[in-house]
Amino acid sequence: FELKTTFPENFLWGGAAAANQLEGASNVGGKGLSLADVYIFDENTPKKNWSDQWHLMTHKQIEEAQDPASEKYYPKRHGVDFYHHYKEDIALLAEMGFKAFRMSIAWTRIFPNGDELIPNEEGLAFYDRVFDELNKYGIEPIVTLSHYEMPLHLTTKYGGWVSRKVIDFFVRYATTVAERYKHKVKYWMTFNEINCVVHHQYVSLGVIEENHPNIEQAMFQGAHHQFVASALATKACKESNPQAMVGCMVSYQLLVPYSCDPDDVQATVDKQRTSLFFTDVQARGYYPAYTARMFAEKNIVLKTEPEDEQIMKDYPVDYVSFSYYMSGAVSAHPEKIEGAEGNLLTGGVKNPYLPSSDWGWQIDPKGLRTAINQLYDLYQKPVLVAENGLGALDVLQEGDVIEDDYRIDYLKEHIKQIKEAIADGVDVMGYTSWGCIDMVSAGTNQMSKRYGYIYVDQDDMGRGTKRRIKKKSFYWYKNVIATNGEQL
């Protein structure tokens, strides 16, 4: 029995980002429109509606977005222009001592519409340049294949992931990049926050409007197709590079019962399974026992093919990764208790013991230790904390100073708990905090909801110089990495 009191030597310290929030240059290099490219930001929309398009999108909104005369502002087409700043940005990550950078490939740079037979060489060449730049500094890329950015065409023409045809398009894309980058990328992830398919039908599945008689049926059908696609992508990555490590990724919001009322306890188990269902399938390679009852209660009948079961069984993931921003409390009688304002995913109630971020996300560092332990106990596979961080309003002071002590406190407390989980015996591979450089928010499309160590001079409407400025947390994180987590 060897007690581990320090972070492992090869711990993957770093940060995470997604192409659609970061790159911009949406009309450059032959890129097609992704579904993220049609979200608007409008200062006049009430704040509480900012995330609406994330869940639901109408044909009318999409048509308008494709009209060159549209005067609306589409932030994810602009990101923070990493496409043209990648050298400068990667140099800053290297200055912080990053060992890993979690990023996604924009599917639409490789297959602009998603259903082409031949990939777009200009898109492939862009990621060659990015990986080479990372490699120059010894930064390991951890690449997500699909991070809320499927080709828009696949949603309008085929109805998104509800269509089985999309599996073939995805596998073609995954095989293309796995083969192309086999000497440059070792760590892959298939679908970002795959469990969000049961919460956000548009962003996760590309399903436009609720034109399905049983939307849950559509969501789980889409999930099944993603499971098969993920297993086939895992196969592709491993055939191209036998050393490749492929992970799943869930949004893991630790849930606790609001009280010790047995009904609250059971409600918590049921709700936690809306996330664990996904890791159960992807880490074990088969549907968990509770699926039959869950599907019966929701009137879900999945359409599957005979080979699906074997494919999923043959290619489970190598590691389990997750995003963790908050925990949630669950009550069997939520109508009697104050709701947690920012809890978009599970709609839990407010936990009176926890503080909240400016967006109402309830901050629970100790919950991270519990979450890591839970996932490891269940699957006995290495765990990667793929996202964690504090979205906050930063103030740029004179002399390019940004004193984000609140962010340092948040990150410090969470990293302490990762260390605890390591002492608990968990094989934690790494920590890639979210939004190491400021970028457009996934949920609200704001620029002012910032997570980075690096400030980008740009506002919600895309105005600004895009100048990169180091925040106080930049220097703090640099020291954390330099001391391998000993000095927090």
Q: Which residues make beta-bridge pairs with 115?
A: none
State in angstroms the smallest separation of the CB of 256 from ligand BG6: 20
Q: In whole angstroms, what is the distance from residue 292 CA to residue 185 CA?
A: 38
Please state, in angstroms and as integers, the Cα–Cα distance from residue 88 to each residue in 73, 371, 420, following that order.
26, 35, 35
State in angstroms the smallest separation of the CB of 290 from ligand BG6: 25
Secondary structure, 3-state, 366-394 = HHHHHHHHHHHHHHCCCEEEEECCCCECC
Confirm if 449 and 51 have CB atoms less than 8 A apart: no
Sign of CA pseudo-dihedral 481, 387, 15, 240? positive
Q: Which residues make beta-bridge pairs with 392?
A: 450
State in angstroms the smallest separation of the CB of 43 from ligand BG6: 17
User: Residue 19, Cα to own-chain centre: how many angstroms?
Assistant: 11
State in angstroms the smallest separation of the CB of 410 from ligand BG6: 13
State in angstroms the smallest separation of the CB of 295 from ligand BG6: 26
Nearer to ligand BG6, 39 or 181 (CB): 39
Per-residue DSSP letter, 401: B
Q: In whole angstroms, what is the distance from residue 485 CA to residue 206 CA?
A: 40
**Residue indicated by tokens 């047995």:** 262
Nearer to ligand BG6, 161 or 315 (CB): 161
Nearer to ligand BG6, 251 or 417 (CB): 251
Specify whether 387 is catalytic. Answer: yes
Confirm if 36 and 78 have CB atoms less than 8 A apart: no
Specify whether 95 is catalytic. Answer: no
Q: In whole angstroms, what is the distance from residue 471 CA to residue 402 CA?
A: 5
Dihedral angle computed from the Cα positions of residues 108, 60, 46 and 33, in that order, rounded to the nearest 10 degrees: 10
Q: Which residues make Cβ contacts (< 8 Å) with residue 5, sequence separation at least 6?
A: 423
Nearer to ligand BG6, 36 or 162 (CB): 36
Q: Which residues make beta-bridge pairs with 227?
A: none
Sign of CA pseudo-dihedral 438, 16, 89, 83? negative
Nearer to ligand BG6, 222 or 257 (CB): 222
* Residues within the interface to ligand BG6 (CB under 6 A): 18, 21, 192-193, 251, 323, 387, 391, 434, 441-444, 449
Nearer to ligand BG6, 99 or 449 (CB): 449
Read out DSSP for 329-352? EE-S-GGGS-B-TT-TTT--B--T
Per-residue DSSP letter, 260: S
State in angstroms the smallest separation of the CB of 482 from ligand BG6: 26
Q: Which of 23, 133, 140, 387 is catalytic?
A: 387
Sign of CA pseudo-dihedral 197, 200, 201, 203? negative
Angle of helix 262-284 versus helix 215-240 axis, rounded to 10? 40
Q: Which of 193, 305, 398, 420 is catalytic?
A: 193
Nearer to ligand BG6, 100 or 312 (CB): 100
State in angstroms the smallest separation of the CB of 285 from ligand BG6: 24
Confirm if 232 and 174 have CB atoms less than 8 A apart: yes
Confirm if 274 and 342 have CB atoms less than 8 A apart: no
Q: In whole angstroms, what is the distance from residue 82 CA to residue 104 CA?
A: 12
Nearer to ligand BG6, 190 or 241 (CB): 190
State in angstroms the smallest separation of the CB of 187 from ligand BG6: 16
**DSSP alpha helix (H) spans, 257-323:** 262-284, 291-297, 308-314
Nearer to ligand BG6, 159 or 443 (CB): 443
Q: In whole angstroms, what is the distance from residue 454 CA to residue 247 CA?
A: 27
State in angstroms the smallest separation of the CB of 306 from ligand BG6: 34
Residue least distant from ligand BG6 (Cβ):
443
Nearer to ligand BG6, 285 or 342 (CB): 342
State in angstroms the smallest separation of the CB of 26 from ligand BG6: 17
Angle of helix 262-284 versus helix 365-379 axis, rounded to 10? 60
Among all residues, which ones are annotated catalytic? Answer: 193, 387
